[in-house]
Structure 1
Amino acid sequence: MVVAAATTPAHRAVEPSITLLPMANVTVLGAGAAGLAVAAQLKANGVESVVLERGPEVATSWRGRYDRLRLHTVRRLSGLPGFPIPHEYGRWVRRDDLVRYLEAYAERFALDVRTGTTVETVKPGGERWSLRLADGSEQTTRTLIVATGYLHTPVVPQWPGLPSWTGTLIHSSAYRNAEPFKGKKVLVVGPGNSGAEIATDLAEGGAASVSLAVRTPPHIVRRTTAGWPAQMNGLLLSGLPEPVFNSMAATMARMEVPDLRRYGMERPTEGLKTRLRTQRYVPLQDVGIVRDVIAGRVRPVAAVESFTETEVRLADGSALSPDVVVAATGYGTGLPTLFDDPALFDDTGVPLVHGGPPARPGLYFIGYHVTLGGMLRELAIESRRVARAVSATR
């Protein structure tokens, strides 16, 4: 098995900060959207903070996403507090424009971001939290706000036989565009938003064939209907009782999305809101996958079960011989390895208390709540809530 490394997208080069950290009263981990938003809200409340970022620049995780990525939420509902996303970025903001926006956000509020600073462990110590850094040094802080996100650590299943496979495997986090895969047979594993969009990108970009392995059929929604975004449906209907919401979502899907069963894509059997509650699942927004499945450019296949040297064996007993497997198999939070306190997290590594009140005295988590109203909108709400909670303790 050959595991391909991620390709770094072109962007403005910035030398990592090597400034030594003073003893901070408030420290934020992560200079993505959540970390920047809460730091700006703290500052608006008169509380200064230091933001630690493992990467060389802000928005490290966004910079690493695939080239064609656009937000699945509308621009006006995706801005962070105090500074809207510029109108010229369009309704569906591109990855690179969002990175520019987050850079501008950090500059606008003069946030103290320390890049190139990796925190390896966090431990309580009296009335402060102790942070062990990758360089071996240790810093302390009275208040710690963790904003590293639930899409932090790529997860690849340990399929039987995988080490013996002679093809190329990459996680979706390492995929940038279709150029390296022209003329190759590619199997994408996982029909979530990333997997489906990567499959479409490969089909459009000249792959010899594209298959999409499906274990659990996705809920598919149209991004917009007569100009009305799917995000607004999520916002307006999310308060409905779960059975009612599930029934309405299934009815809307039958009306809006063609029946793909003849092409190998079954309809989901579990309700959308139920999957959101039990699995933090959000629906697949169609930005081309339905068209490509119908046209035969992307072929749905059964779930991956195992590997041999030359084949990928599927749950229905069939097998494929792809050149490349792209595992769009999700992420972990990475938090259980950061904290030596398993009681903080559920069995998926998500904090049991997050988005507002402290999980422990002086410890807050932000950016771990999945909603149908959009991740960035939720971050904006949580950043105000967490900043108020921290400010009240000063």
Structure 2
Amino acid sequence: MVKRKKVVSASSNEDFLSRRCIWVNGPVIVGAGPSGLAVASGLKDRGVPFIILERADCIASLWRNRTYDSLKLHLPKKFCQLPNYPFPKNFPEYPSRDQFISYIESYAKHFKIKPQFNESVQSALYDETCGLWRMKTVSACGESIKRETEYISQWIVVATGENAEKVVPKFSGIHEFGSDIIHACDYKSGDKFGGQRVLVVGCGNSGMEVSLDLCRHNATPFMVIRSSVHILPREVLRKSTFELAALMMKWFPLWLVDRILVCMANMAFGNTEKYGLKRPLEGPLQLKNSDGKTPVLDLGTMEKIKSGEIKLVPGIKRFSRGRVELVNGEIVEIDSVVLATGYRSNVPSWLKENEFFSENGFPKSPFPNGWKGKAGLYAAGFTRKGLSGASDDAIKVAEDISKIWKEKTGRKK
């Protein structure tokens, strides 16, 4: 699969052991999440060698380490399965976090995919002189030694995903607060928050579901509404709202489907503005396509908002000891803060390329054309369309690399 080149002489045995250069006779996949594994399975099926570099110590580290216990897939399982490997039939329509992790593990085992863990890509640069990608990584080698490696390949697949790094906004006086402040990626359950007044900053799917979980553990959530948001029922007449929207898109224009979705939401929830939840002017699908802003699929949070168990508050002006001042001048005493402020791509921090990816770490060409760049650069999992979009990308990437690899090597199978 890989060939080691001769290592240049070093000044000490430690340097000799900590530096190496490896030629990869196939693509280097960066990231062992669902997108990276899906690309790998396609390459494996076509006999193309590859390696996967993963900075964490496990596959799907986002799902394993940075999700809350009560999380379930927002869409039916048939829209979330990876290529050539369906979910087990005994799994529910909306698999739990642990069930999805189990599915991902069995996926890797089924296709015999073995990533290289604890190896963080520091930089990836296309060398125009030799026409190859040069990727430098750092990995732990013992307690004090960090081993540096340079991988050289004709192809690189960026599969680090849309949510590689947490977003932590800066708030005035935040260091004066004096109590627990965590990001949603570190929130597991409301067990330790029982009886507390918790400020949840953010009203997307994470903010809504964390607030609901806090309610179930006898906490009082104050959810910060900083912008307008679309809230849709997860199901209508026992059918997935997403599935209904996908069916309607085959027959009706997007604007009309958006109107129908909003009508469904109004029938389910009534006028949400009277609770402080204003809808955006753009429809839910249009907003998703233009800004990547996902509508909230309600799992019971709206009922708690209507009953007053979840309290909605406007934006934050500043923090002080044990309290927060809101933009409307109101002061609220709180015990803890959960920042459900989202995630971002980390691609700009290590990929030394500025033509294919934009400054926000997403391909400049929107779906379905954001999977292939120039000079052997590919991307998977940046579609803003969830696991189904990641699978579509992975299939295209694997097919394209396989075709080129076979042409270059002269292999037919």
Structure 1-normalised TM-score?
0.89
**Residue of structure 2 in register with 1:215 after alignment:** 226
The answer as to whether partners of 2:379 and 2:393 remain within 8 angstroms in 1 is no
Larger radius of gyration: 2
Select which of 322, 326, 342 maps to 1:330.
342
Find the aligned partners of 2:125 and 2:381 in 1 and give their Cα distance. Answer: 21
The aligned amino acid for 1:286 is D
Find the aligned partners of 2:116 and 2:245 in 1 and give their Cα distance. Answer: 36
| 1:357 to partner: Cα distance | 4.7
CA RMSD, 1 decimal: 2.0
Q: Secondary structure at the match of 2:155?
A: strand
The aligned amino acid for 1:300 is L
The answer as to whether partners of 2:364 and 2:370 remain within 8 angstroms in 1 is no
**Cα deviation digits, residues 192-239 of structure 1 (max 9, x gap):** 1111000000011121x2111111232111111221001202322346
Q: Structure 1 stretch 296-305 or stretch 259-268: which is displaced more?
A: 259-268
**Residue of structure 2 in register with 1:89 after alignment:** 91
Confirm whether residue 117 of structure 1 aligns to residue 119 of structure 2. Answer: yes
The aligned amino acid for 1:195 is G
Report the number of matched residues. 372
| 1:344 to partner: Cα distance | 3.4
Find the aligned partners of 1:347 and 1:143 in 2 and give their Cα distance. Answer: 22
Q: Structure 1 stretch 246-255 or stretch 94-103: which is displaced more?
A: 246-255
| 1:21 to partner: Cα distance | 8.2
Write the mapping of 1:88-167 to structure 2, written as runs, cut at 5 A.
Answer: 88-125=90-127, 126-134=130-138, 135-167=147-179
Find the aligned partners of 2:86 and 2:29 in 1 and give their Cα distance. Answer: 22
Cα distance change on mapping 1:170 and 1:381 into 2, 3 Å: same
Confirm whether residue 388 of structure 1 aligns to residue 402 of structure 2. Answer: no
**Cα deviation digits, residues 267-323 of structure 1 (max 9, x gap):** 333322332123201110111101111121101111223323443222222222211
**Cα deviation digits, residues 74-128 of structure 1 (max 9, x gap):** 1122211111111112111011111111111111111131112111211112322
Q: Secondary structure at the match of 2:168?
A: coil
**Residue of structure 2 in register with 1:78 after alignment:** 80
The aligned amino acid for 2:126 is P
Find the aligned partners of 2:314 and 2:378 in 1 and give their Cα distance. Answer: 41
Q: Secondary structure at the match of 1:211?
A: strand
**Cα deviation digits, residues 156-210 of structure 1 (max 9, x gap):** 1112222333232111111000112112110111111111000000011121x21
The aligned amino acid for 1:363 is L
**Cα deviation digits, residues 310-360 of structure 1 (max 9, x gap):** 432222222222111111111110111012334433242212247665222
Select which of 294, 300, 318 maps to 1:282.
294
**Residue of structure 1 in register with 2:381 after alignment:** 367
Confirm whether residue 180 of structure 1 aligns to residue 192 of structure 2. Answer: yes
**Residue of structure 2 in register with 1:43 after alignment:** 44
The answer as to whether partners of 1:263 and 1:299 remain within 8 angstroms in 2 is no
The answer as to whether partners of 1:356 and 1:385 remain within 8 angstroms in 2 is no
**Residue of structure 2 in register with 1:23 after alignment:** 23
| 1:242 to partner: Cα distance | 4.2
Find the aligned partners of 2:328 and 2:257 in 1 and give their Cα distance. Answer: 32
Cα distance change on mapping 1:266 and 1:357 into 2, 3 Å: closer
The answer as to whether partners of 2:162 and 2:382 remain within 8 angstroms in 1 is yes
Confirm whether residue 271 of structure 1 aligns to residue 283 of structure 2. Answer: yes
Find the aligned partners of 1:322 and 1:381 in 2 and give their Cα distance. Answer: 44
Q: Secondary structure at the match of 1:40?
A: helix
The answer as to whether partners of 1:344 and 1:352 remain within 8 angstroms in 2 is yes
The answer as to whether partners of 2:245 and 2:257 remain within 8 angstroms in 1 is no
Find the aligned partners of 1:21 and 1:62 in 2 and give their Cα distance. Answer: 32
The answer as to whether partners of 2:180 and 2:335 remain within 8 angstroms in 1 is yes
Cα distance change on mapping 1:21 and 1:102 into 2, 3 Å: farther
Find the aligned partners of 1:333 and 1:357 in 2 and give their Cα distance. Answer: 15
**Residue of structure 2 in register with 1:7 after alignment:** none
The answer as to whether partners of 2:177 and 2:323 remain within 8 angstroms in 1 is yes
The aligned amino acid for 2:80 is S
Confirm whether residue 318 of structure 1 aligns to residue 330 of structure 2. Answer: yes
Find the aligned partners of 1:165 and 1:356 in 2 and give their Cα distance. Answer: 43
| 1:22 to partner: Cα distance | 4.4
Cα distance change on mapping 1:221 and 1:76 into 2, 3 Å: same
Q: Secondary structure at the match of 1:90?
A: coil
**Identity between Structure 1 and Structure 2 (%):** 29
Q: Secondary structure at the match of 1:113?
A: coil
**Cα deviation digits, residues 30-51 of structure 1 (max 9, x gap):** 1111110111011222212111
Find the aligned partners of 1:247 and 1:31 in 2 and give their Cα distance. Answer: 38
**Residue of structure 2 in register with 1:193 after alignment:** 205
Select which of 228, 231, 238 maps to 1:227.
238
The answer as to whether partners of 2:77 and 2:93 remain within 8 angstroms in 1 is yes
